[in-house]
Amino acid sequence: MRDFFVSCGYPLEILDDAWNRVSKISRTDALIPRPKQSSQCTKLIMTYHPHNLVARKIVFNNLSILQADPDAREVFDEPPLVVY
């Protein structure tokens, strides 16, 4: 599996560090489900398309305008999470 990630261009240091961290976890600990953290942030849900990256950039570049409006600030108090 390491050869696959190396062929994809991952640095060896990152792969070795990840392997060292993973090898310290027992199988029983790895199978214990973690509680999910609920996210209260606003989500910008779009169908993936390369041109939708432009829409994401427009929202983030103009976030200050949205946060300046009192009504929009309630929704956009933090940057939205872009979801495809």
Distances (CA, A) of 29 to 15, 24, 26, 34, 35: 21, 10, 5, 10, 14
Range of the domain at 29: 1-34
Report the pLDDT value the prediction gives residue 44, as an integer from 0 to 100. 87
Residues 48 and 30 in one domain: no
Residues 25 and 54 in one domain: no
Band of the pLDDT at 16, cuts 50, 70, 90? very high
Examine the pLDDT at 21 and tell me if it is beyond 90: yes
Place of tokens 């190396």: 6
Residues 29 and 49 in one domain: no
Distances (CA, A) of 47 to 54, 57, 76, 80: 13, 15, 21, 16
Residues 30 and 52 in one domain: no
Residues 30 and 62 in one domain: no
Q: What's the whole-number average pLDDT of the chain?
A: 88
Residues 54 and 76 in one domain: yes
Residues 23 and 48 in one domain: no
- This prediction has a pTM of 0.46
Residues 56 and 28 in one domain: no
Length of the chain as a residue count: 84
Examine the pLDDT at 38 and tell me if it is beyond 80: no
How many domains does the chain contain in total?
Answer: 2
Examine the pLDDT at 77 and tell me if it is beyond 90: no
Question: Are 42 and 80 spatial neighbours (Cβ–Cβ below 8 Å)?
Answer: yes
Residues 51 and 73 in one domain: yes
Examine the pLDDT at 55 and tell me if it is beyond 80: yes
Query: Using CA of residue 41, residue 74, residue 71, residue 67, what is the dihedral sign?
Result: negative
